[in-house]
Amino acid sequence: MHEKFERLIPLHKHTKGQLTYIEGGIAYITIHFKTYIVPAHHYFWIPKGMPHLLRVSNSATVVRNIYFYTRDDDSHEFYSKLGIYPASRLLIEMISYTERWDGGHVKPGDENFEFLIALKNILPELGHKTLPIILPITEDESMKRILRYMESKISLPLTLEEVSSQFNMSSRSLSRLFQSTLHISFLQYLKTLRMVKAIEMLLKTDIPVGEIGIRVGYDSIGSFSNAFFALTQSRPSDFRRV
């Protein structure tokens, strides 16, 4: 399936393995109260039977999906876990080539079945470098209010003390709330939130990299670039050019 859309696809699961390539924009996969970020020119693999929710945030984004048989998925651990990876030029071309069969089924014995076998077989070889950008979510209303506040003040030098005072809490109480509801520290969440917002601006706007760094709370392009590289293994300018 190859389609251009901007929408939320509710929680669902498949009886096949799912390979999805994001062409432009950014997508978000939610699984077990964790939201995984999938930027443009990255792909993800979702194993058979894994419930997930998918949101695409740009109407110009082409989402390319291929659903595979699962009879040999035990041949490699790659097929049994969720993974998000940068797409090589070879893989992009192979996935794009399948658009000619959009909406159809390619069965054993069909002319193009061997092509799809080859595509699936190279995934474990290519999928070594995962993109570990995960933003936890929660149904706790008090935590939701705090997270909304942090997002609205993302350009400021937020601290545990400052945020806790805004909600009449002690720093220790807020720290415990993060761990109990999100299973992540305040600083880990803040750092990830800054990177998510930076990626969104890199892929959706022409705002200069230095200005993006300031807008997500960094006081210099160097500190922003280093923090970005530590999480994504790419510099912000390179990420935009991919």
Q: Rounded to the nearest 10 degrees, how much is the dihedral formed by the CA atoms of 214, 216, 217, 222?
A: -60
pLDDT band at 213 (very low <50, low <70, confident <90, very high): very high
DSSP state of 88: P
pLDDT band at 5 (very low <50, low <70, confident <90, very high): confident
Q: If you average pLDDT over residues 45-60, what whole number do you get? A: 88
**What integer pLDDT is reported at residue 111 of this predicted model?**
84
Q: If you average pLDDT over residues 133-140, what whole number do you get? A: 86
C-alpha distances out from residue 179 to 2, 126, 136, 141, 202, Å: 40, 34, 11, 15, 30
Close Cβ partners of 230 (under 8 Å, ≥ 6 residues apart): none
Span between the terminal Cα atoms of the chain, in Å = 23
**What integer pLDDT is reported at residue 132 of this predicted model?**
73
The domains found in the chain, sorted by start residue, are 2-126 (2.60.120.280), 139-241 (1.10.10.60)
pLDDT value at 180 more than 90:
yes
**What integer pLDDT is reported at residue 210 of this predicted model?**
93
pLDDT band at 133 (very low <50, low <70, confident <90, very high): confident
Q: What percent of the chain has pLDDT over 70?
A: 99
C-alpha distances out from residue 99 to 105, 176, 194, 222, Å: 12, 49, 35, 41
Q: If you compute the radius of gyration of the chain from its CA atoms, what whole number of angstroms results?
A: 20
pTM greater than the 0.75 cutoff: yes
**What integer pLDDT is reported at residue 241 of this predicted model?**
63
- Specify the DSSP element, H or E, that contains 43: strand 42-46
pLDDT value at 242 more than 70:
no
Q: If you average pLDDT over residues 37-46, what whole number do you get? A: 90
d(CA 37, CA 167): 28
**What integer pLDDT is reported at residue 165 of this predicted model?**
95
pLDDT value at 115 more than 90:
yes
Q: Mean pLDDT over all residues of the chain?
A: 90
- Specify the DSSP element, H or E, that contains 34: strand 34-39
